[in-house]
Structure 1
């Protein structure tokens, strides 16, 4: 199968996820600074989730750029990733509606962890399909961010039991790590 169809489908799903999240933003109840300040936690969690969707979109694009053919296993691995990403609007909304308390922040972290695991499965499926030392494996190298992120999500989930904002701080830190442009794939393509 041609990878363009997979990319187009995935882009569409990610666009819908972002649209659903933005529809959850509501204007302040009153035209006052205090009312605007009251909405800041909601805006922050939307921005965090938007950044995560953007990170996945960016890395998904780079990963598929090096993919050759697309097998049925890759299609299912991609759907698995999209499933966990599609829960971002739900877990984000629950965190907002509950007021950033323990269980919703913990579930948000679990959603982040499962999306990271699904991304790893998709990457591994693509690498296995290409064979050892294929373009994707060579471009990804050690992938310390990909390997370290799940551990940090688990740490954040643990810290959520101490205080939900500590967990949220770790989730934000992981997003910040991924915001640093990862040029491995671009460098690999330029060298090839």
Structure 2
């Protein structure tokens, strides 16, 4: 059986790649490290964005596992142009996975990036892997596994949030494990 823990980063000061964690986010990173202190972890793969890397560093340091940065785990770009109605446009991309806005990527394109990471994990020897990513990308992975996971579920994600994906006998399922 493979277990993949998918973590949405802790609270951050903004959206740019270099945005640091807030003081609350730094405390949350320590809480994540404590949460995982009794869980075996073979591998950690993270978005290279500062908020994602900083969310997992306390745990990585505690357990002596190197964090692998993987650009496929970066946040999805909805558009490279300002969109005052971005919330509604994002909602539409959960209904039409091929919908794409100028300078952005479709839900399907973003989903394929994180699914590639998961498929690599499934073909590795590692049994317990952590992925640290961003809310939209995380929700698209969960939607890939269960098509019912949609916009409303994305809205209910927290910073941080943790889902456990279990893969056994060619079956995949997930559950939220962060309270």
Answer whether TM exceeds 0.5 for this pair: no
| Bigger relative contact order (CA 8 A; separation at least 6) | 2
Task: Specify which structure has the higher proportion of strand.
Answer: 2
TM-score by length of 1: 0.31
Q: Which has the larger radius of gyration?
A: 1
